[in-house]
């Protein structure tokens, strides 16, 4: 029986253990360019089997928060290369998370101050982070406009180009498609945000179409062994809601199984909140079985609210990888702390979003 601390592989990625740093938005990238201290921040955490970068915009239109990084301009890629070099120097592996926020944005952040784009013109009941006098301020998202059918191929291509940029130029070991947390691809999949009547709305097959097209295009760009995906079947994040998530996500993972991904990353329950939701029941074992029965060979990564004990149990129950988000902020040596059953440091909420080195690269190791 493998343990959390045994090496493994996820597609083409060789990982020194099964503990993963989950993507964490930190809003420290003015002009969408990661700061120099991002190299220190990620390298400090390189003992994780795999680091997943903070969510990173695939285009200007894809951006929904102040000071989040991008993967579409040369200065951004040059800055990311410093990060990936530092992580590799420290013996780690790092993939980036490909992000299009869809309707979770604000006109202030959009090209030409236009409306954010979405499957349908339904405003999300959620807030984004803008800076007001340098202070991160939660602000309601703007009314979106529905994407034209003719715009969708361009969005698929933007994912593929960002993936190529990430691997070929910025030196990432791979990419994770952000299909979770109420952002664009999740908006298309779920009934609460998709009222389209074309080939991208209505049936499960239609609602899953954009996610699967993006996945195929990214695989064509960087290879299936370097491509992972993150899904959140029942999250409440960003007003996400689907009337019948079990058959939707079982269909999605059966289709993904045919594509040969490096890993499938599942947020169980409400992102950063309860793992079980009374009004949104979901059978994760059935989801994994649907993937394996359809021939899916990618690593199965579980997430949300794990501690060392729960993670050990998850691996015993057959999870291949366990990702930790918030615990990684204040515990750069989380692998060692879990291994030694050492106490975990608490993060400072005041320095979570925005700012500089404080609360970013100054959390000590044991």
Q: Which residues make up the interface to ligand 8OZ (CB under 6 A)?
A: 25, 55, 65, 181, 237, 271
13-15 and 8-10: which strand pairing? antiparallel
Residue 302 or 315: which CB sits closer to ligand 8OZ?
A: 302
CA distance 215 to 177: 7
251 is catalytic: no
Nearer to ligand 8OZ, 55 or 221 (CB): 55
Minimum distance between the CB of residue 117 and ligand 8OZ, rounded to whole angstroms?
17
Sign of CA dihedral 214, 218, 224, 226: negative
Residue 360 has φ and ψ, to the nearest 5°, of -125, -60
The span from the CA of 181 to the CA of 143, in Å, is 18
Q: 79 or 329: whose CB is closer to ligand 8OZ?
A: 329
Q: Is the separation of the CB atoms in 261 and 228 below 8 Å? A: yes
Short-list 52, 96, 89, 50, CA closest to 72: 96
CB neighbourhood size of 132 (10 A):
9
Quick one: 129 or 147, whose CB is closer to ligand 8OZ?
129
Distances (CA, A) of 242 to 100, 191, 192, 282: 19, 5, 6, 12
Taking the complex as a whole, the smallest distance from the CB of residue 297 to ligand 8OZ amounts, in Å, to 26
CA-closest candidate to residue 88, choices 205, 198, 170: 170
Min dist CB 41 to ligand 8OZ, Å, is: 16
Question: In degrees, to the nearest 5, what angle opens at C-alpha 282 toward C-alphas 277 and 284?
Answer: 120
- In the complex, the smallest distance separating the C-beta of residue 225 from ligand 8OZ, rounded to whole angstroms, is 24
Catalytic pick from 183, 251, 263, 360?
A: 183
Judged by CB, which is closer to ligand 8OZ: 120, or 303? 303
Shortest Cβ 237–ligand 8OZ spacing (Å): 5
Give me the active site residues, please: 183
């Amino acid at each position: 029986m493998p343990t959390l601390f045994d090496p493994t592989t996820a597609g083409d990625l060789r990982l020194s253990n099964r503990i993963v740093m989950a993507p964490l938005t930190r809003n420290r990238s003015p002009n969408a360019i990661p700061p120099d201290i991002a190299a220190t921040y990620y390298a400090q955490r390189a003992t994780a089997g795999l680091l997943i970068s903070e969510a990173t915009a695939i285009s200007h239109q894809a951006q929904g928060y102040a000071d989040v990084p991008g993967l579409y301009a040369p200065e951004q890629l040059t800055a990311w290369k410093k990060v990936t070099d530092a992580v590799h120097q420290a013996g780690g592996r790092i993939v980036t998370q490909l992000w299009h926020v869809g309707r979770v944005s604000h006109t202030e952040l959009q090209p030409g101050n236009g409306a954010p784009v979405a499957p349908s013109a339904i405003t999300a009941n959620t807030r984004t982070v803008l800076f007001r006098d340098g202070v991160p301020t939660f602000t309601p998202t703007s009314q979106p406009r529905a994407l034209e059918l003719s715009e969708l191929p361009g969005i698929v291509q933007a994912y593929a180009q960002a993936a190529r940029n990430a691997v070929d130029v910025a030196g990432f070991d791979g990419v994770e498609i952000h299909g979770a947390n109420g952002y664009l691809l999740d908006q298309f999949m779920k009934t609460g945000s998709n009222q389209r009547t074309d080939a991208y709305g209505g049936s499960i097959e239609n609602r899953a179409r954009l996610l699967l097209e993006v996945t195929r295009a990214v695989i064509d760009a960087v290879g299936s062994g370097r491509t992972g995906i993150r899904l959140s079947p029942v999250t409440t994040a960003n007003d996400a809601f689907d009337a019948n998530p079990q058959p939707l996500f079982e269909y999605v993972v059966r289709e993904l199984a045919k594509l040969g991904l490096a890993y499938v990353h599942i947020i169980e329950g409400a992102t950063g909140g309860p793992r079980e939701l009374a009004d949104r029941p979901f059978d994760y074992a059935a989801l994994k079985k649907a993937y394996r029965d359809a021939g899916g060979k990618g690593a199965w990564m579980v997430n949300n609210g794990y501690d060392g004990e729960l993670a050990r149990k998850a691996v015993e129950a057959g999870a291949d990888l366990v990702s930790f988000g918030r615990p990684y902020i204040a515990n750069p040596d989380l692998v060692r702390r879990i291994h030694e059953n050492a106490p975990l440091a608490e993060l400072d909420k005041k320095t979570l979003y925005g700012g500089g080195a404080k609360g970013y690269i100054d959390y000590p190791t044991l």
